[in-house]
Amino acid sequence: MYQLTKVNKKFPGVHALKNVDFFIGRGEIVGLVGENGAGKSTLMKIIYGAHQPDTGTIEIDGKTIRFQNSRQAMDYGIGMLFQEQSLITNLTVMENIFLGFELQFSNFGVINWKSMAKAAQYQLKKVNLNIDPSTVTSRLSFAQRQLVELAKVLTLEERIDGDLVILLDEPTSVLAQEEVQLLFELVRQLTNRVSFIFVSHRLDEVLELSDRIYVMKDGEVVDTVKGDKADIDDIQRKMVGRDIDKEYYREYRQKSYDQSKKLVSFNAVSVAEQFYDISFDLRAGEVVSFVGTEGSGREAILRTVFGLNNPTGGQFLVKDSPYSTGTVREAVQRGIGYVPRERKVEGIVNGMNVYENMTLSQLSSYSNKGILRVGEEKRLAENWVEKLSIKTPSVEKDCGGLSGGNQQKVVLAKWRSGGSDVILLDHPTRGLDIGAKEDVYEMVRDMCEDGAGIILVADTLEEAIGLSHTIYVLKDGRFQKCFDGSTGDKPSLYDLVHYMI
């Protein structure tokens, strides 16, 4: 009944969806899986009307439709169950359920709370949640909030005639095992009226619940499998796709590292609510990477090394001595450089030019008593522009106007030119095109040759495997398994994924 045909969507620099065909029948539960960046969220946004496709058609029961916004999609019975953040926590449960649809309870602008409470009670009953609708949402548990979300989406049943499609976006991420089962139970019961699209990183759950599963990769649907015939390993292979190209990650340039020179050591370090009992050493010339799903604690480790988080337990040494203040300033002074995921927010200063950005972390080296030696700054910048072949008309060009790859090079130049020898890379190739990615990989090898150590949170698993000497797998903030990534002896994707989920 709901069908997408040859849908394309492009964003600046990214072809997010390529000729995607998607179909969901009455009462069907369809799973949607893929790695980060495969196009799942773009596809969902198109389905519930938050994005419009560039080309291709949307049909409901054979009629072609175009939504301008998600409100219009709701009018056609398409609802979205957001991860818990869509509830406004200081409103009551009933206010949340009917947010934006209060008019039905109002007389001349005055809301009749009693009738709203009654209607809310009715919705809550659908999800078997026995709470007072006038409870303030912040007092509910996460599982209860998730059910309130579902109740909110189910108000569509009364508002719309005909069939409903409800998207479930990672609905189980905050739920305990038995709560997940309750939710699944509920979803199955509702299929007499509702079709569901279920998106989750937890493949076993997708397999359990779905009738059919769409597997996405690089903006394409690479396969559709029947739920009862699906096999986890097979799906994983399809999500990840192509074989790893050794040339691509410059594996021939991967040299052994200097065992004797420890740059960073963690000894059972914890940061409350982020990660626990993590131990590792980073040595000169080594690339260490942390892999795990979103929220596994990998980014938090980088931020801790950079002084943005303070450990709540364990011992943390940088070049054999502990931090005294645990601030970013100290981290920078001790030779740690951070290449953040949010390149345009934390990486470069948009509005400052190339040389200003490069010297920002090392102003004292380019000044006498606070007065800048701008000539030297420019020479430094010109040097690095040439060294890293940064494409910019001049070093006085605003960094905000450079392409993503060149911005990333400016950030790397900032740290390397200042002599940083511990480089933290957080999704360093995110949003870059292939050529720019390869430049980043070259730079990683260059830095190792210069004796720097790198801690990597890669954009994809292949990248982590291809680049690293050592790979740590994390799950829910805890260490799972350490793999040796020496050339010729690299673990496979499936080895890693197995410990991630």
What residues make contact with another protein under the rule CB under 8 A? 306, 328-329, 331-333, 338, 340, 342, 345-352, 356, 359-361, 363-364, 367, 370-372, 374, 414
What is the rounded CA–CA span in Å between residue 491 and residue 501?
A: 16
Identify the CA nearest to 283 among candidates 488, 479, 448: 448
Bridge partners, residue 283, by sequence? 262
What is the rounded CA–CA span in Å between residue 151 and residue 81?
A: 9
Bridge partners, residue 339, by sequence? 425
What is the rounded CA–CA span in Å between residue 198 and residue 220?
A: 18
Query: Which residue bears the tokens 């937890």?
Result: 202
DSSP codes joined into one string, 22-67: EEE-TT-EEEEEE-TTSSHHHHHHHHTTSS--SEEEEEETTEEE--
Query: Which residue bears the tokens 């260059």?
Result: 446
Bridge partners, residue 366, by sequence? none
Alpha helices in 297-364 (DSSP H): 298-305, 328-333, 354-359
Strand order in the sheet with 29-34: 78-81, 164-169, 194-199, 29-34, 212-217, 220-226
Choose between 270 and 359: whose C-beta lies nearer to another protein.
Answer: 359
CB of 87 to another protein, least distance (A): 18
What is the rounded CA–CA span in Å between residue 218 and residue 16?
A: 7
Angle at which helices 434-449 and 404-417 pack, to 10 degrees? 10
CB of 361 to another protein, least distance (A): 4
What is the rounded CA–CA span in Å between residue 36 and residue 38?
A: 6
Query: Which residue bears the tokens 């999800």?
Result: 127
CB of 397 to another protein, least distance (A): 13
395 by DSSP, 3-state: which? coil
Choose between 25 and 419: whose C-beta lies nearer to another protein.
Answer: 419
Choose between 121 and 359: whose C-beta lies nearer to another protein.
Answer: 359
Choose between 162 and 351: whose C-beta lies nearer to another protein.
Answer: 351
CB of 329 to another protein, least distance (A): 5
What is the rounded CA–CA span in Å between residue 76 and residue 404?
A: 39
Choose between 211 and 377: whose C-beta lies nearer to another protein.
Answer: 377
CB of 354 to another protein, least distance (A): 14
CB of 338 to another protein, least distance (A): 6
Choose between 200 and 361: whose C-beta lies nearer to another protein.
Answer: 361
Identify the CA nearest to 421 among candidates 310, 262, 290: 262
CB of 430 to another protein, least distance (A): 16
Q: Is 376 left (phi over 0), alpha (psi -120 to 50) or beta?
A: alpha
Identify the CA nearest to 48 among candidates 30, 24, 72, 23: 72
> Amino acid identity of 167?
L
Choose between 29 and 454: whose C-beta lies nearer to another protein.
Answer: 454
CB of 377 to another protein, least distance (A): 9
Q: Are strands 55-60 and 2-11 parallel, antiparallel or unpaired?
A: antiparallel
CB of 263 to another protein, least distance (A): 18
Choose between 319 and 481: whose C-beta lies nearer to another protein.
Answer: 319
39, 220 Cβ separation under 8 angstroms: yes
- Under DSSP, the state recorded for 491 is P
CB of 410 to another protein, least distance (A): 11
- Under DSSP, the state recorded for 75 is H
CB of 308 to another protein, least distance (A): 8
Choose between 61 and 342: whose C-beta lies nearer to another protein.
Answer: 342
Choose between 176 and 360: whose C-beta lies nearer to another protein.
Answer: 360
Choose between 53 and 335: whose C-beta lies nearer to another protein.
Answer: 335
CB of 431 to another protein, least distance (A): 17
Choose between 136 and 374: whose C-beta lies nearer to another protein.
Answer: 374
CB of 447 to another protein, least distance (A): 18
Choose between 105 and 355: whose C-beta lies nearer to another protein.
Answer: 355
Bridge partners, residue 479, by sequence? 474
What is the rounded CA–CA span in Å between residue 42 and residue 313?
A: 40
